């Protein structure tokens, strides 16, 4: 199965990448990160994917096709336990070779990373950008929100360095907020798909009135 067959058709797509060495033992951390990456106001972000990156295989949660993913703690814990500990796959859950995923995320037009992440691993041709100069939606089709401090090649990317702490939850929430400001979002709520319009902002970062 190729990534092109399982990705969301909604654009720009967001891809959150979280590293995990032992997914089953890290459920408490991963469920919180997946929850805040994939949900908003009791809706599922259908323009968003979450990659739980491990080697040699990674788990991909596709908001567009995802089912049985509920924000209630017990339900979410059971759902992820069945995936991460019992190797069950549900609609919107995919097990993919990590080298395929690494190659795919390298083609993103916009990359968001924590300010603490080393930049030596990034392609020399990237362009650093500020909030007010995030490229328009017509240019950006794929956005990667990356927390991996491992060598990854990014071609022709705009990079936004989010001044976040080492707290990945804060980084996740802040990234979605920034992207909602710039691009809006597509959400499935109670079986209906909704377009949440972007909030306008000025070059200096303040919102238009």
Distances (CA, A) of 27 to 30, 42, 87, 97: 5, 21, 13, 21
Q: Please give the tally of structural domains in the chain.
A: 1
Report yes or no on 206 lying in a domain: no
Average pLDDT of the chain? 83
Report yes or no on 162 lying in a domain: yes
Report yes or no on 137 lying in a domain: yes
Query: What is the structure's pLDDT at 3?
Result: 64
Residues, the chain: 209
Condensed to tens digits (0 to 9), the pLDDT of residues 123-134 reads 444 566 777 778
Buried b (16+ CB within 10 A) or exposed e, 57-89: ebbbbbbbbbeebeeeeeebeebbeebbeeeee
Q: How far apart are CA 136 and CA 176, in angstroms?
A: 16
Report yes or no on 132 lying in a domain: yes
Domain with residue 174: its CATH number is 3.40.1280.10
Condensed to tens digits (0 to 9), the pLDDT of residues 67-118 reads 989 889 999 999 999 999 999 999 999 999 988 877 777 778 888 888 776 5
Could you tell me the pTM of the whole model?
Answer: 0.88
Q: Which residue has the tokens 């990667």?
A: 144
Report yes or no on 2 lying in a domain: no
Preceding amide of 90 cis, omega within 30: no
Average pLDDT over residues 22-45: 94
Report yes or no on 205 lying in a domain: no
Residue numbers of the domain that contains 119: 8-196
Query: What is the structure's pLDDT at 106?
Result: 73
Q: How far apart are CA 95 and CA 57, in angstroms?
A: 7
Side by side, the strands of the sheet bearing 57-62 are: 93-97, 57-62, 48-53, 13-19, 142-146, 110-114, 158-162, 127-129
Query: What is the structure's pLDDT at 121?
Result: 46
Structure tokens at 46: 């259908």
CA angle 120–48–27, rounded 5-degree value: 80
Report yes or no on 41 lying in a domain: yes
Query: What is the structure's pLDDT at 206?
Result: 43
């Amino acid at each position: 199965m190729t990534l092109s067959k399982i990705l969301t058709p909604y654009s720009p797509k967001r891809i959150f990448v979280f590293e995990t060495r032992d997914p089953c033992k890290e459920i408490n951390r991963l469920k919180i990160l997946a929850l805040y990456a994939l949900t908003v106001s009791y809706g599922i972000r259908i323009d968003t994917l979450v990659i739980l990156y491990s080697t040699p295989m990674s788990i991909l949660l596709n908001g567009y096709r995802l089912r049985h993913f509920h924000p209630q703690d017990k339900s979410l814990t059971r759902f992820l336990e069945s995936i991460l500990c019992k190797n069950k796959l549900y609609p919107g859950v995919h097990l993919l070779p990590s080298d395929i995923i690494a190659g795919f995320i390298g083609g993103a037009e916009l990359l968001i990373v924590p300010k603490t992440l080393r930049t030596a691993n990034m392609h020399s041709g990237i362009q650093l950008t500020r909030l007010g100069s995030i490229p328009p939606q017509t240019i950006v089709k794929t956005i990667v929100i990356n927390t991996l401090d491992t060598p990854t090649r990014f071609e022709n990317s705009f990079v936004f360095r989010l001044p976040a702490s080492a707290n990945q939850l804060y980084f996740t929430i802040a990234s979605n907020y920034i992207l909602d400001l710039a691009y809006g979002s597509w959400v499935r709520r109670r079986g209906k798909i909704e377009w949440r319009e972007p909030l306008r902002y000025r070059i200096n970062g303040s919102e238009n009135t």
